[in-house]
């Protein structure tokens, strides 16, 4: 069982004044969580692969996006998307034989399911798909099976976030280092970003989330930072106190949840940071959880998909985990 650490290591490269402020922020707003054990009730014989993304809908149902009981969906028929109610009962499975490399997931305000398929193979992959709650594919952005850097091609497409007005933001992140913006009907509007470390540049923009003010948070993973933009790509801020962030989510109360994989960066904690999206204040850390995905429901329960570290098994019967506030 993962333990909660209320105080984190302060990154060595930030200033002493910032470090003292950061420690004060962490210690003055403590929360703690407990793991609720095996929560998801899986179909008989089912095993998780890499659970790469999680999300919740307005009714509190939980969606898990996984790599077909393996590390890829190539030549496999296990469903990549599973839906559970808040008690863990399995409600739906979707997508058998349709995807290559599941990656990003977003449930929009109308309950539509948005996913990214991040590798091309055999005429499939490198697309963003919009799926109705009943499983019908409503829209596809990107050219199936083709990698590229044009307005309708992706290369390692990693995440998708739908704004309240329906505009679609795509992190074309594993190779192209850009954010692409589309209209609600999938028409290209603009893009920003390139490889680099300056403001507005990226080194693997991996995950997206939007706060109540409409600011877009981007996990700039290999630059070890969060970047914050307005919806026209204007740079607002960058936060560097969390390390290598693979997954992000923001709750309706502007609590920011960060999945940080910092095994190679000892100045940072590996686990799930629970943070204010307003000012970066750390409220809690669910420690030693190796994950790329995180989300919280309306009651503050945190869901995450565990994936194995390098050299560890990638298939598990307990990869979708739930933590609830004490």
Which among 248, 240, 188 is positioned nearest to 217, based on CA atoms?
A: 248
3-state class (DSSP) for residue 47: coil
- C-alpha–C-alpha distance, residues 67 and 155, integer Å: 18
CA angle 94, 174, 184 (to 5 degrees): 55
Q: What pLDDT does 278 receive?
A: 96
Residues in the chain, overall count:
326
pLDDT in tens, the chain (326 residues): 333 333 333 333 333 333 434 443 443 446 899 999 889 999 999 999 999 999 999 999 999 999 999 999 999 999 999 999 999 999 999 999 999 999 999 999 999 999 999 999 999 999 999 999 999 999 999 999 999 999 999 999 999 999 999 999 999 999 999 999 999 999 999 999 999 999 999 999 999 999 999 999 999 999 999 999 999 999 999 999 999 999 999 999 999 999 999 999 999 999 999 999 999 999 999 998 999 999 999 999 999 998 778 788 777 767 899 999 98
Structure tokens, 314: 């990638």
Neighbours of 77 (CB within 10 A): 10
pLDDT per residue over 221-250, tens digit each? 999 999 999 999 999 999 999 999 999 999
Task: Report residue 315 CA to chain centroid gap.
Answer: 19
3-state class (DSSP) for residue 255: strand
Q: What pLDDT does 315 receive?
A: 72
- Tokens 């598990």 locate to 316
Q: What pLDDT does 311 receive?
A: 80
Which domains does the chain carry?
A: 4-325 (2.120.10.30)
305 CB-near residues (< 8 Å, 6+ apart): 48, 50, 51, 52, 53, 54, 64, 65, 66, 291, 292, 293, 319, 320, 321
* Global confidence as pTM: 0.91
- Tokens 């009730």 locate to 41
Q: What pLDDT does 247 receive?
A: 98
Structure tokens, 51: 């659970």
Q: What pLDDT does 317 receive?
A: 63
Q: Are 83 and 63 in contact (CB under 8 A)?
A: yes
Q: What pLDDT does 78 receive?
A: 96
pLDDT per residue over 91-120, tens digit each? 999 999 999 999 999 999 999 999 999 999
Burial 27-50 (b: 16+ CB within 10 A, else e): eeeebbbebeeebbebeeeeebbb
Which among 112, 99, 84, 5 is positioned nearest to 321, based on CA atoms?
A: 84
- Tokens 């109360």 locate to 253
- Tokens 């910092």 locate to 262
Structure tokens, 150: 């044009």
Q: Are 118 and 103 in contact (CB under 8 A)?
A: yes
- C-alpha–C-alpha distance, residues 198 and 204, integer Å: 13
Q: What pLDDT does 38 receive?
A: 84
DSSP assignments along 60-120, one per residue: --EEEEE-TTTT--TT--S-SEEEE-TT--EEEEE-TTT-SSEEEEEE-TTS-EEEEE-S-
Q: Are 271 and 282 in contact (CB under 8 A)?
A: no
Question: How far apart, in Å, do the first and last CA atoms of the chain sit?
Answer: 15
């Amino acid at each position: 069982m993962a333990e909660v650490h209320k105080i984190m290591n302060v990154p060595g490269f930030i200033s002493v004044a910032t470090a003292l402020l950061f420690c004060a922020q962490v210690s003055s707003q403590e929360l703690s969580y407990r793991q609720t054990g095996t929560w998801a009730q899986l179909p008989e014989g089912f095993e998780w692969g890499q659970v790469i993304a999680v999300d919740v809908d307005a009714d509190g149902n939980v969606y898990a996006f996984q790599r077909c009981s393996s590390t890829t969906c190539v030549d496999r028929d296990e469903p990549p998307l599973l839906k559970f109610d808040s008690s863990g009962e399995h409600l739906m499975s979707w997508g058998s034989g349709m995807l290559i490399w599941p990656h990003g997931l977003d449930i929009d305000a109308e309950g539509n399911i948005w996913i990214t398929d991040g590798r091309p193979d055999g005429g499939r992959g490198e697309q963003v798909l919009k799926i109705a709650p009943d499983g019908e594919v409503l829209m596809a952005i990107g050219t199936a099976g083709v990698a590229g850097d044009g307005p309708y091609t992706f290369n390692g497409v990693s995440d998708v976030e739908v704004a309240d007005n329906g505009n679609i933001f795509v992190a074309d992140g594993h190779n192209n280092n850009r954010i692409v913006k589309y209209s609600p009907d999938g028409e290209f509007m603009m893009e920003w970003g390139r490889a680099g470390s300056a403001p507005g540049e990226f080194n693997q923009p991996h995950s997206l989330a939007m706060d109540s003010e409409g600011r877009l948070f981007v996990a700039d993973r290999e630059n070890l930072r969060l970047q914050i933009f307005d919806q026209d790509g204007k740079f607002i801020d960058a936060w560097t106190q969390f390390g290598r962030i693979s997954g992000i989510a923001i709750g309706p109360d502007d609590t920011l949840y960060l999945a940080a994989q910092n095994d190679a960066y000892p100045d940072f904690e590996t686990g799930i940071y629970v943070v204010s999206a307003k000012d970066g204040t750390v409220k809690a850390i669910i420690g030693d959880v190796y994950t790329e995905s995180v989300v919280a429901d309306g009651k503050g329960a945190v869901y995450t998909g565990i994936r194995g570290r390098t050299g560890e098994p990638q298939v598990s019967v307990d990869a979708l985990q739930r933590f609830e506030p004490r």
